[in-house]
Structure 1
Amino acid sequence: MIVIMSLMHPNAKEWRQRSVYQLLIDRFASPDNKPCNVFQNKYCGGTIKAMTEKLDYIQGMGYNAIWISPTLRQAEDVEQSYHGYWFGSFYETNPYIGTDEDLINFVKEAHKRDIWVMADVVYNHVGNCFGDDHKVDPEKYSCIKPFGKEEHYHKRCDIKSYDDPWQVINCRIAGLPDLNQENPEVKAELISWAKWYQKKFDFDGFRVDTVKHIDHHFWKDLRKETPWFNMGEIFVYNYDLIRDYMTEDQLHGAFNYPLFDSLKYVMGGGNSMDAISNRFRQTQEFFGDRIHDMGTFFENHDNERFLLHFNDPARFENQLTIIHMWAGIPFLLYGAEQDMSGGPDPDCRRALWDYGYDTNSRHYQFIKKLNHVRNKMQIGGLEQVELGQFGNAYAFSRGNKVLVVLNNQGSGNDNQIRVKAPFESNSQICNALVEGDCINVGSDGFVDIHLHSGEPKVYVRQKDL
């Protein structure tokens, strides 16, 4: 298995069968578990070695892929770069989190468990260099390796309007030096580095940062040279722009930000299920079968946690259910399994060791059941069919294997629906999330489903449990 994966990169269709656990290395596992004050915006002590020791914890939830935060050495080694997105030396591992050998060993240990590793990469920008006064010098680039010359960057300007495509491509995000991919030297070096990085550490795919800030020509040239799966971050809430980048000659996949946006208001705020239904129809229209190559999520490291505003286990479990059962590749941000809350960055990046690694917690076990269904039934790539909206409930199927019913009423509210099932008439089906919750499909192919206290349900054939 390991040899095959080293020679043949997993393709998009193979990634469809994976469930991904997202983590920030500095915040996931530490050798000493010292308390972490996220508002200091500094390293808290998480390491690659400690992360490796927690692989069984991740695997225990049923995850078979991990998205790790960037591992490169950061510009000026500043402590505020704990997140990893301020690249300084492209060919060195960040000494705060570990060594090359630590990272190689982590990937090997993951592969032994049939867990794939998705590395986080940034082609758009780098970190800032300091002047003699130890403050940021926006015109200095000498601390960046191998991009230490002024001509490696776009002329300095800051993005004032995201409605201006020229600014989005050519100007700086948060004052960070913007690499000039139109420069043949820069483009060639970035592609060469990507190939080196993947090969050295044997990564199975890349999560690609800030995609919309780079011209399409670069992505087309990159695709020709990098055959492994590239999942792009295109942070917009409409599918038009996402489709522009998620093409056969650019990115293999992209995160489903429009669905993420709708889930906040539907599953959290109790808004109409129409929004989710509309998102499904839109993705079918825009992407067809490639809907299965999109990343489904309801939290990430850039946005506040769901439980900050909607501290209701039923609503939370509906969120967990939809991202794991919906067409696409599910991504779960570390800590959700331990009910981690938090506001916008940096508060959404708390240390998991401050919460603990309880494998018997309610939502660790809940997620384990969801992934058991995904993995056993191999639903990645199976057709998704909308079965109907029923007030505060919404039902859909995945092939003829799974029936999913969602509910956004929250705890304390019951609901009853009648829906056409994707199973044989007069057969018995069971809710994979609650032991003993079984019902019979009628002779007409319909089932009557009682939703207790806002719960979601995931039905499979009784024999498939």
Structure 2
Amino acid sequence: MACRIVKIFFPLSLSFLAFCVSYSSGRTAAEWKSRVVYQVVTDRLAHTSKSPTLQCTSWNLCGGTFKGIQRELDYIAGLGVNAIRISPFVLNANDSTGRFDYLGRWPLNIYKINSYFGTQQDLIDLVQECHSRDIWVMADLVIRNMGYQDGCFSSFCPSPERDVFNKFVPFDKEEHYDHFYYWANNLPRLNHTNSFVRTTLINWVREVATDYDIDGFCLDNVDGIRKDFLEELNNSTEIFIIGHASARGDSLAEYQPALDAVFDNDMQSALSSFFTSTQPSNGYYRIPDELALRRGLFMDSTVLGGYLDNVDTRRFLGVTDYTRLRNALAYLLMAELQQFKKRKKIPFFIVTELLTTTRTQDLRWYA
């Protein structure tokens, strides 16, 4: 990293002047194949201290921080994982009721750190400490939409002449459904056909990789982000990018090569059906069928994200017991080894998959 992007900002605008561009090469898809990833919901893993003062509820911020994650690195390393995936960390908006999204998916200003999680230096310290332990860091990014804001979205509105948001389309009738336009949860959808939007996001992703020495990125909710833009973004960076989509089958496979990888939703569904069913034989054949399907469906199935839980699904432990969870995890880690030498997926785990009880909270406050 010889130099960084230097920007001059203009008031009430996302515009800037940039010069002296150089950025981190990150890690490649081939390198990520050796990693087992632990998804950390930053707000829900650990407080900076062992004595939290916030009362945690479903939509309330619980006080988890970058320092809290750093405090738990001995625990994380002890699990045998060698990478973490952290929540989107930019400054977030709140909705009309005053709620904040503890997952960090309502970005207000992509150039500022969410102060609830800590400071810019706290994030740098976390990444450096992770790297000193050979733990890689994957950062979640939200590039499909911005966050809630009343009126003109004045806190992040660019200049009026720039059409950076798609025209509002409600998702109240089936005929309104169009991934490229409708405002999911009424969040203002960025217009990825706009050259200013495309350039701004690409430069920002490069800067994040450089400033924080990030090893990989996960793009949230890539459904509705045009694949030509995803491909341009992917080709503009030298870093592994995996996307989270709700699509399945052929529609999911179409995200390669626009992205290096996607999360394998179909296999997750097959594993859930088999390991949580009271009659598991009903789902037995889905697993080999899915394995066979991948050989011709994806350009590279060896970098798909394998998972049982994520923040958008009901927790495995909420529908089954710990013994079945352990069996499912064993499959995810071992059953898809190619000739017992090469893993055929990158395993992702979320906090609740690694708890030894059936509680479903994501908290380890007093660890």
Category of TM-score, reference length = shorter chain:
0.7 to 0.9
Q: Which of 48, 51, 54 in structure 1 is aligned with 2:69?
A: 51
Q: Which of 107, 112, 123 in structure 2 is aligned with 1:92?
A: 112
Whichever residue aligns with residue 352 of structure 2, its letter is G
SS in 2 for 1:156: coil
Q: Which of 213, 231, 243 in structure 1 is aligned with 2:253?
A: 243
Give the structure 1 partner of residue 309 of structure 2.
299
Give the structure 1 partner of residue 228 of structure 2.
217
Q: How is 1:62-211 mapped onto 2 (pairs within 5 angstroms)?
A: 62-76=80-94, 79-130=99-150, 137=151, 140-144=152-156, 151-160=163-172, 167-211=178-222
Deviation at residue 216 of structure 1 after TM alignment:
1.4
Residues 147/79 of structure 1: CA separation in 2 closer, same or farther (3 Å cut)? farther
Whichever residue aligns with residue 283 of structure 1, its letter is R
Counterpart CA distance in 1 for 2:223 and 2:205 is 18
Deviation at residue 33 of structure 1 after TM alignment:
3.0
Give the structure 1 partner of residue 333 of structure 2.
324
Q: Normalising by structure 1, what TM-score? A: 0.67
Residues 44/149 of structure 1: CA separation in 2 closer, same or farther (3 Å cut)? farther
Residues 127/279 of structure 1: CA separation in 2 closer, same or farther (3 Å cut)? same
Deviations 1:329-388 (Å, cap 9, x if unpaired)?
A: 00010132224656xxxxx654232xx54xxxxxxxxxxxxxxxxxxxxxxxxxxxxxxx
Deviation at residue 293 of structure 1 after TM alignment:
0.5
Give the structure 1 partner of residue 350 of structure 2.
333
Deviation at residue 162 of structure 1 after TM alignment:
7.5
Identity %: 30
SS in 2 for 1:170: coil
Residues 339/157 of structure 1: CA separation in 2 closer, same or farther (3 Å cut)? farther
SS in 2 for 1:226: coil
Whichever residue aligns with residue 50 of structure 1, its letter is G
SS in 2 for 1:193: helix
Residues 225/85 of structure 1: CA separation in 2 closer, same or farther (3 Å cut)? same
Residues 301/149 of structure 1: CA separation in 2 closer, same or farther (3 Å cut)? farther
RMSD: 2.2
Whichever residue aligns with residue 224 of structure 1, its letter is N
Deviations 1:68-98 (Å, cap 9, x if unpaired)?
A: 0010001259542221100001111001110
Whichever residue aligns with residue 101 of structure 2, its letter is S
Q: Do structure 1's residue 229 and structure 2's residue 229 form an aligned pair?
A: no
Counterpart CA distance in 1 for 2:244 and 2:111 is 23
Determine which structure has the larger strand proportion and give its number.
Answer: 1
Counterpart CA distance in 2 for 1:329 and 1:232 is 13
Deviations 1:3-57 (Å, cap 9, x if unpaired)?
A: xxx8542111110000000011110011223464333x11111111111111111
SS in 2 for 1:169: coil
Contact 1:36 1:350 in 2 (8 A): no
Highest relative contact order (Cα 8 Å, sep 6+), 1 or 2? 2
Whichever residue aligns with residue 96 of structure 1, its letter is Y
Q: Do structure 1's residue 309 and structure 2's residue 331 form an aligned pair?
A: no
Give the structure 1 partner of residue 263 of structure 2.
255
SS in 2 for 1:91: strand
Contact 2:94 2:101 in 1 (8 A): no
Whichever residue aligns with residue 256 of structure 1, its letter is D
Whichever residue aligns with residue 223 of structure 1, its letter is N
**Structure number, greater radius of gyration:** 1
Deviation at residue 257 of structure 1 after TM alignment:
0.5
Contact 2:24 2:210 in 1 (8 A): no
Contact 1:141 1:149 in 2 (8 A): no
Moved more, 66-75 or 155-164: 155-164
Give the structure 1 partner of residue 52 of structure 2.
33
Deviation at residue 217 of structure 1 after TM alignment:
1.6
Q: Which of 265, 270, 295 in structure 2 is aligned with 1:284?
A: 295
Gapped runs of 5+ residues in structure 2? 1-22, 337-343
Whichever residue aligns with residue 90 of structure 2, its letter is L
Counterpart CA distance in 1 for 2:293 and 2:319 is 28
Residues 171/272 of structure 1: CA separation in 2 closer, same or farther (3 Å cut)? closer
Deviation at residue 227 of structure 1 after TM alignment:
1.6
